[in-house]
Amino acid sequence: MSLFRVLDVSASGMSAQSVRLNTTASNLANANSVSSSVDKTYRARNPVFAAELSKAQGQQSANVKVKVLGIVESDAPLTREYLPNHPMADDNGFIYRSNVNVVEEMANMMSASRSYQTNVQIADAAKQMLSKTLQLGKSQ
Sheet-wide strand order for 34-35: 34-35, 94-97, 79-82
Instruction: Print the domain residue range for 48.
Output: 3-32+44-73+102-136
pLDDT of residue 116: 95
Examine residue 93 and state whether it is found in any structural domain, yes or no: no
77-104 pLDDT, tens digit per residue, is 999 999 999 999 999 999 999 999 999 9
Examine residue 112 and state whether it is found in any structural domain, yes or no: yes
Domain count, the chain: 1
pTM check: above 0.85: no
Examine residue 81 and state whether it is found in any structural domain, yes or no: no
Q: Which residue has the higher pLDDT, 140 or 104?
A: 104
Examine residue 127 and state whether it is found in any structural domain, yes or no: yes
Whole-angstrom Cα distance, residue 15 to residue 117?
A: 12
